[in-house]
Amino acid sequence: MTAVEAPAGVWERVIGQPAVVAELRAAVADPAAMTHAWLFTGPPGSGRSVAARAFAAALQCPDGGCGHCHACHTALAGTHADVKIIVPDGLSIGAKEAREMVVGASRAPSQGRWQIVLVEDADRMTEQAANAVLKMIEEPPARTVMMLCVPSLHPDDVMVTIRSRCRLVSLRTPPVDAVADVLLRRDGVDPALAAWAAAASGGHVGRARRLARDEAARLSRKAVLDIPLSLVSLSACLDAAEELVGSAKEETEAATSALDSAETEAMKASLGVGARGPGIAASRGGAGALKELEKKQKSRATRIGRDSLDRALVDLAAFYRDALVLAATGDQASTLNHPDRRADAAELARRLGAEGALRRIDAILACREALEQNVKPQIALEALTVALRLPAA
């Protein structure tokens, strides 16, 4: 099997990870190779949660992941009665949600072979939530499997005690040709556009698909990569920061406005708010429930905004990395993160040099950390763009 050929069944979704697929298939086929707790790690876009969902489907499938049966379809879609998928849409996974997760995992399977709990972005668990999950992993119920997905094995991402009790599955960034092949076969993308999107995404399958299918995503990326060479004055720096923050706000509003309204109306209806007629009364505690929903929606909006800014910062860091490589090697570098912007990266390398590019990468990483520590985006981005300002010619 070549690097771009996908395994059959549910494993077809796992792109460019032949060693991981072989390990998971072996665990499905051989009970002796199975364990109750798994930790999926890998860089963004490597397919951690995709691999975990495929594994969950294969464990429930009578044929080990055929991809066609009811168990496979429902497990992959997140509707299987014995596969609970936790996808945090806010800033964190709290203790209450974790305790509910543990209670659900303690039940015996009702339809499938296993009771499976899959947590995407498990690095967002609070300390109290992680402790609740740790207790379950230390005393696992029979026929229960816990799958945790985190971006790395950094101590801050997941508790050491949890890591030590899980079987580790390490994914890598998929090869560019494998990503391009998926866009061609699965999405029917034009070959040239598929190759460009795969290269421009750095092997991030989801990002490659957005770039290939969404003109707005391509324009957004272009706007971000236009910033470094535009930072010639203080006003240009402040304008760039304003543009980045404004773009994140627009994306957040587009993603949340309709969803928030629908959720609020649905909850009001369930609580009987505004109802009229004999025997109809609003549920007690309705105000508290609505306040809790509003808090959840605000947390989700904050996370969407941060994720939008983080994608822009990752693109910028990769662009300055290209400049660093070109400054250090001349024009000999064959592989760049943004190959379609080689000329701009070369100009940046000429004006900054290797040391200047490296300092700016450090500034971007510091900005990402500041955003995670709740520094106001406008302040963090203004400080960053000033640090990225080009030296006087």
d(CA 27, CA 20): 11
Quick: pLDDT tens for 100-154.
888 888 888 888 889 999 999 888 888 899 998 998 898 888 889 999 999 876 6
Quick: pLDDT tens for 253-306.
887 777 777 767 777 777 766 555 554 444 555 677 777 777 777 877 887 888
Name the E strands within the chain: 37-41, 83-86, 115-119, 144-150, 167-170
Instruction: Specify whether the CB–CB gap between 48 and 149 falls below 8 A.
Output: yes
Q: Structure tokens of 89?
A: 């849409």
DSSP 31: G
CATH architecture entry for 234-273+286-387: Up-down Bundle (1.20)
d(CA 243, CA 189): 30
Q: Which residues neighbour 215 within 8 Å (Cβ) at sequence distance 6 or greater?
A: none
Q: 37 forms bridges with which residues in the sheet?
A: 146
d(CA 287, CA 268): 10
Q: 342 forms bridges with which residues in the sheet?
A: none
Q: Structure tokens of 52?
A: 């975990």
Length of the chain: 393
d(CA 375, CA 367): 9
Instruction: Specify whether the CB–CB gap between 42 and 78 falls below 8 A.
Output: no
pLDDT bin (cut points 50, 70, 90) of residue 4 is very low
Quick: pLDDT tens for 174-211.
988 999 998 998 888 999 999 999 988 888 888 899 99
Q: pTM, whole model, 2 decimals? A: 0.78
The CATH number of the domain covering residues in 9-170 = 3.40.50.300
d(CA 58, CA 64): 5
Task: Name the residue with tokens 């991981």.
Answer: 20
